Amino acid sequence: MEKIDYKKSLGQNFLYDTNLLRAIANDGGVESDDLVLEIGAGAGTLTKVLAEKAKKVISFEIDKSLIPILEKVRDEQKNIEFHFQDFMDAEVDNLFEGKAKVVANIPYYITTPIIFKLVDSIEKFDSILVLIQKEVAERFVAKEGGKDYGITSVILQSIFDVSVSRIIKKECFTPSPKIDSALCKLVPHNRHKISNFESFKNFVHISFSMRRKTLVNNLKQNFDKEMIIKTLEKFGYSETVRPEQISVENFIKIHEDLNVKK
């Protein structure tokens, strides 16, 4: 293993266990005819495993000091295309034709922005597998009524089947982070009819703007109070219901109903 100057500012925590890397590729459902988008190549250990399984890997890495290491990986695996830039600056829709599977080891500090950038191009992906901090994954999969249920839970689950495939202990990483990580898989679904997704996302943000307040109080700046109460009653809720008590499916129904009446 070549000497690497790990950058704390970039949240760099790399994996080197080949068996674990292969397990991650398997969890991502990577097959021989797949195009894989990797975000955060790091030392290229996962990149190499993905390239061995996939038709092609497009991989992003922001740390240009890793270029010499990654160029050696590319010399061994000709089906890798590296982009040495911040993924947040990339135009996803112009990166490739058809659809891709995402496999990414994402630093904590930029997890949510990357996830929502992928959400904005959901039609480009068959699935998204992200290695993230365990506590963040718990928010992704949380159900109504729990302390972790909130904006991210509702928005992601409205368009994805979200699951955790495995927990990865902090000791598996170099350098070791402070908490364990989780592999979280997001597979797009079309179960819910959302007329305007941007409007729905904004609605969810407003709904959770003050968690200690009722949904009515959070929404009344944007909708007529009596109209909100009637809509909540229509779906079996009282006017004292809090946002964390409402299921994803009913958030969608409430949003659609209120926007029809607005």
Structure tokens at 186: 């997001």
Backbone angles phi, psi at 188, to 5 degrees: -60, 140
Q: Return d(Cα 120, Cα 104) in angstroms, integer.
A: 17
For residue 12, the model assigns a pLDDT of 54
Amino acid 6: pLDDT: 46
106 and 124 belong to one structural domain: yes
Pick from 20, 33, 188, 12: nearest CA to 105: 12
Q: Which of 158, 188, 218 is the last residue before a domain boundary? A: 188
Indicate whether 161 and 202 sit together in one domain: no
Three-state secondary structure string covering the chain: CCCCCCCHHHCCCEECCHHHHHHHHHHCCCCCCCEEEEECCCCCHHHHHHHHHCCEEEEECCCHHHHHHHHHHHHHCCCEEEECCCHHHCCHHHCCCCCEEEEEECCHHHHHHHHHHHHCCHHHEEEEEEEEEHHHHHHHHCCCCCCCCCHHHHHHHHHEEEEEEEEECHHHEECCCCCCEEEEEEEECCCCCCCCHHHHHHHHHHHCCCCCCCHHHHHCCCCCHHHHHHHHHHCCCCCCCCHHHCCHHHHHHHHHHHHHHC
CATH number for the domain that contains residue 254:
1.10.8.100
The Cα 70–Cα 92 span in angstroms is 22
Q: Does residue 1 lie in a domain region?
A: no
- Shared-domain flag, residues 184 and 201: no
Structural domain boundaries, residue 214: 197-261
Q: Alpha carbon of 25 to those of 19, 21, 144, 149, 183: distances in Å?
A: 10, 6, 31, 28, 11
- pTM of the complete model: 0.91
43 lies in some domain: yes
Same domain, 164 and 202: no
- CATH code for the domain in which residue 124 is found: 3.40.50.150
Average pLDDT along the chain, 262 residues, taken 10 residues at a time: 53 72 95 96 92 97 90 94 95 93 87 93 96 94 95 97 94 77 95 92 96 93 94 96 97 92 62
Are residues 21 and 121 located together in one domain of the fold? yes
